[in-house]
Structure 1
Amino acid sequence: MLASASASKAACNQETLNTTSFNYVNDIENQTVHDIAVKFNRGVCDIGRANLMVDVSVVPNVGQTIIIPGQVCHPDWTTCVIDGPGTNDCLIGGPRLYYTLNGDTMWKIAGRLNMTLDAVTCGGDSCNTNITCIDGICPGGGGSQYTANETIPAGQFIKIPITCDIEPYTFSAGVYKDLAEKYGSTVGQIQMLSPTYNYSYIANEGGTFPPIALAKNCRLLSSNYTILS
């Protein structure tokens, strides 16, 4: 990524850019969005937003169609990237079950939920003093069988706890990180409300923008409550 970021800062002649977008059908297993961005000299975040992706770290499936946007002088390699786990011991908001996507790890899930790695893997009583853990089990106990960077099969449920305003939402621009920052939620929370959604290239080709459920204003309903696992 460093080489790609450095290249974006070099002098750019817009007349030499290929500004035409096109569709690319992924034909390589475990090829990441970053790999595709490097292959076509685009920014990973430019590709993510062109396809209304949940998160650019989700590994595309073989046969998945991806819009490759036109080249720009300053490709975006950073603004949509979730930079590792967060700092929260417990999730303020929900819903209860996290549904894994292709290429997910506990490290990625912790980042999307803005929680510590220890909290989502339940390495012990890591919740804060306002949360009561039962028999040493914390809200993220469903992930305790996985190591931090072990790839988890897609379609698995990981237990996480709950409390947000939930509203229907038409997803028409950006990636989930953009929505999370705007509405006071997290990527993981929005993902958990529409667990089977991954991306949409059809919407940007004249199709219907995907309807999703959006978590807003996530907060504690009281200063002290109990999580039962």
Structure 2
Amino acid sequence: MFGVASLLTLMGTMLSTTTEAKVACNQASLNTTRFNYVNDIENQTVHAIARKFNRGVCDIGRANLMVDVSVVPNVGQTIIIPGQVCNPDWTTCIIDGPGTNECLIGGPRLYYTLNGDTMWKIAGRLNMTLDAVRCGGDSCETNVTCTNGICPGGGGAQYTANETIAAGQFIKIPMCHPSTCDIEPYSFSHGVYKDLADKFSSTVGQIQMMSPTYNYSYIANEGGTYPPIGVVKNCRLLSPNYTVLS
């Protein structure tokens, strides 16, 4: 066990380390310039761009109103690079894997895939289990045969968990019945969809599904305004007894 002297020494060391960490970041030495970067590398991730310019990936995501920083930017896409900060944010915008729900509360019905999407990412954005988005809640460890785009169970049963899905595909999502959400137009100037989903009690995927072709815009960086989006909010079950519509 520590004696009083040892504890005081340990506390002093911790305080000294914390102080040194604060002193180590000189605000005056940071590059606080905000500028536009045109992506010129195919399949370059937002994480790679953040490392290239020594910014936090979440700082870039929020400056650009991104759906999710795991979405891979297209070649030619303009991205706002915010100024450097002493504590770059690499964690608070990250969606940490699939969720726990077996169906989507309130809808919408169809998920529109973005560049770099996988079933694992989609499940995370919808706060649903991987089996739910792939197979309607049933287990499907192997690919299944789909006819004319219709698959048994969930709409993603033809894809493995981490298989990259082409952008622009519609995936049928199992829904909870009866359930509902409220919808309203919304305009925001800083943040990612996770911030909105946390604020309005919905999911990243549901907000994304309301504006499936929306792309984060750099127009406001040049004196314009950001376009509004439809926000899904207050999603709720209408009965404690519900069924899964797949």
TM-score bracket, normalised by the shorter chain, equals 0.7 to 0.9
- Hey, what does 1:201 align to over in structure 2? 218
Which of 47, 53, 77 aligns to 1:34? It is: 47
- Hey, what does 1:183 align to over in structure 2? 200
- 1:227 shift after superposition: 4.2
Unaligned ranges ≥5, structure 1: 1-8, 127-135
- Hey, what does 1:151 align to over in structure 2? 164
Q: In structure 1, give the amino acid aligned to 2:241.
A: N
CA distance in 1, matches of 2:245, 2:61: 37
TM-score by length of 2: 0.81
- Hey, what does 1:132 align to over in structure 2? none
Which of 219, 222, 229 aligns to 2:239? It is: 222
Q: In structure 2, give the amino acid aligned to 1:201.
A: Y
Post-superposition Cα deviations, 1:106-127, rounded to whole Å, max 9, x if no partner, equal 000000001111111117537x
TM-score by length of 1: 0.86
- Hey, what does 1:46 align to over in structure 2? 59
Which of 189, 212, 217 aligns to 1:172? It is: 189
CA RMSD of aligned residues (A): 1.8
Distance 1:123 1:216, change over 3 A: closer
Map 1:101-140 to 2 at 5 A.
101-122=114-135, 124-125=137-138, 138=153
Q: Which structure has the larger Rg over C-alpha atoms?
A: 2
CA distance in 2, matches of 1:173, 1:220: 30
Which of 33, 36, 57 aligns to 1:23? It is: 36
> What SS does the corresponding residue of 1:178 show, helix, strand or coil?
helix
- 1:58 shift after superposition: 0.4
Unaligned ranges ≥5, structure 2: 1-20, 140-150
CA distance in 2, matches of 1:199, 1:56: 11
- 1:198 shift after superposition: 2.6
- 1:67 shift after superposition: 0.8
CA distance in 1, matches of 2:201, 2:137: 28
